[in-house]
Chains A and B, each alone.
Chain A
């Protein structure tokens, strides 16, 4: 069985210079997609990662990261689309980087594909009726 997980990795400041993500691929055959990264030398780093691979390897990879001192948490933050507040304009379509906000053509109706949302929050403020909410 293989699956994928969205994770928030917090790197203690000493770990920043170690190629941890590289080892996930090299040693555990895990595919990764960096959704968000903020890594500054000599500072704590944060990375939002989607990793996929066999369940067995995912488990081993997580154990490896924890052993290296990386704090691993599931991505809990969620952006919610409040359909009642949405004016169906479409301003979010070119802002959403993952295609979670979708527009049907030619009806031009807007919909939200929750599974594709990475909670980057880029849509929150540019939305004129402010129809997105961030939930932690």
Chain B
């Protein structure tokens, strides 16, 4: 273990006094390049990160308030989009990828997917009135069977974003080796390797700056959707045991975060409903995580730059849908950001689905919040499982049952 340079308490004392030295990950990379990691580690207390991209596995718990007479909701719709009601009388969960009941989906391919759960969440956060409808079977204590009203976020009891899987630590670069255009959650991919889409903020991405989860853990306070949030758990499909570079950065999609925060404090700018032609809807979520520079190791990781971070190139016409392990190649985020990568000897144009300029903006907002003393850092209450934890991403082992399962 390298010598500790500062503790969480010491950093927070400096933040409260307005004396903390806070820089975003880009600035920290520059400083480490100029002066060396050792010197950068001594000077900087906190490095801020950021990411803004489509993050499926997002959604919100909403308590809409009791009606008079009471209703125990069994089916619910916000602007026609189904919300899960199997919780309690008026507790609902609205998922980002849910579609309106009457959406034509992919019946005429590729489907348009104009509106869905992510868009409803955006509209609610934007303060818009949303059409709320509910149905119930009626009980003695909850007699009402139907409900149809406008509803506004500010009038709900509790509304919190609770996303099971966000902030992916690295992600696939999607290409299409087939001879027809395909429509994926990583965008439209033209045939014969005509384009490559990636989705990570690279050197600004939270979990790539703390690759073995030294400081990001359960309870970590974060920037979430414009407001304040917390890491609730490791995200679903958490897969820390992937191949890594010498410095510890995973070369495949690896860690993920489950995050939550008060929806009422969030900003529609950082929660945007998005549509993927031929695929469906999702939610663009803005996340920023502060990395305390506790020691030189933390600084070494926080200074990892695009040229040291690698993503796998995966064929989404075959390898991905059919779960083949084939990776066509590995490319650095520095290469991806030039707009062109080499795949199978061919120059392929690249585009990103995660917004780098918005990631920079988030890291700067978080920086200002910390500098102004409004945002203190948290020592995690429990660490996330590390690369050697043995936790692995598993496929479903299908075991067909006979005779209706009897």
Contacts and interface: CB of A to CB of B under 8 A. Distances in A.
B52 A87 contact: yes
Could you say which of A89, A92, A95, A130 has the most chain B C-beta atoms within 10 Å of its C-beta?
Answer: A89
B197 interface: yes
Given A105-B337, A108-B337, A126-B188, A91 B357 contact: no
B64 interface: no
A40 interface: no
Interface stretch (B8-16, B140-148, B268-276): B268-276
Nearest to B334: A106
Interface stretch (B65-73, B209-217, B225-233, B348-356): B348-356
A128 interface: yes
B235 interface: no
Contacts of A126: 187-188, 277
A125 B181 CA distance: 14
A109 B355 CA distance: 9
Contact of A130 (B114, B190, B195, B339): B114
Contacts of A93: 339, 349, 351
A128 B351 contact: no
B59 interface: no
B357 A128 contact: no
B358 interface: yes
A25 interface: no
Contact of B354 (A89, A103, A107, A129): A89
A88 B188 contact: no
B112 interface: yes
A108 B273 CA distance: 21
Contact of B197 (A91, A107, A110): A91
Contact of B188 (A90, A95, A103): A95
Contact of B338 (A88, A90, A91, A105): A105
Contact of A106 (B112, B190, B337): B337
A98 interface: no
B54 A108 contact: no
A84 B273 CA distance: 13
Contact of A94 (B114, B338, B351, B358): B351
B357 A125 contact: no
Interface in A80-117: 87-95, 103, 105-110
A110 B110 CA distance: 26
A94 B195 CA distance: 7
A21 to B, nearest CB: 28
Given A90-B352, A91-B187, A91-B197, A129 B284 contact: yes
B53 interface: yes
B76 to A, nearest CB: 26
Contacts of B112: 125
Contacts of B110: 125
Nearest to B189: A94
A105 B339 contact: yes
B275 A89 contact: no
A130 B338 CA distance: 25
Contacts of B349: 93-94
Contacts of B273: 129
B195 A89 contact: no
B355 to A, nearest CB: 4
Contacts of A108: 337, 352, 355-357
Given A89-B353, A90-B353, 20 more contacts: A88-B358, A89-B352, A90-B355, A91-B187, A91-B197, A94-B194, A94-B195, A94-B350, A95-B188, A103-B339, A105-B338, A107-B360, A108-B355, A110-B357, A125-B112, A125-B277, A126-B188, A128-B353, A129-B273, A130-B275
Interface of B: 52-54, 110, 112, 114, 187-188, 190, 194-195, 197, 272-277, 282, 284, 337-339, 349-358, 360
Interface of A: 87-95, 103, 105-110, 125-126, 128-130
Q: What 6 A-B pairs are tightest by C-beta distance, nearest first?
A: A128-B274, A108-B356, A94-B195, A88-B355, A94-B351, A126-B188
17 contacts: A89-B53, A89-B354, A90-B351, A90-B352, A90-B353, A92-B351, A94-B197, A103-B339, A105-B338, A107-B356, A108-B355, A128-B276, A128-B353, A129-B272, A129-B273, A129-B274, A129-B284
